[in-house]
Amino acid sequence: MSIFQLPAVTKKKNRLGRGHGRNGGKSGRGQKGQKSRAGYSSKAGFEGGQTPIYMRFPKNRGSKQINKSQVVKPVVITLGILRTFEKGSIVGPGQLKKRGYMSSRIDTLKLIGKGTLEHAYTVRVHGATKGATSAVEKAGGKVEIIPVSNG
Per-residue pLDDT of the chain (151 residues; tens, 9 = 90+): 566 777 778 888 777 777 776 666 777 788 888 788 888 888 888 888 899 998 999 888 777 776 766 666 788 888 888 888 888 888 988 888 888 888 876 778 899 988 788 889 999 998 999 999 999 999 899 999 998 766 5
Q: How many residues are there in the chain?
A: 151
**Amino acid 108: pLDDT:** 85
Number of domains in the chain: 1
Q: Per the domain annotation, does 83 fall within a domain? A: yes
Residue-range definition of the domain harbouring residue 130: 69-145
Whether this model's pTM surpasses 0.85 = no
16 in a domain, yes or no? Answer: no
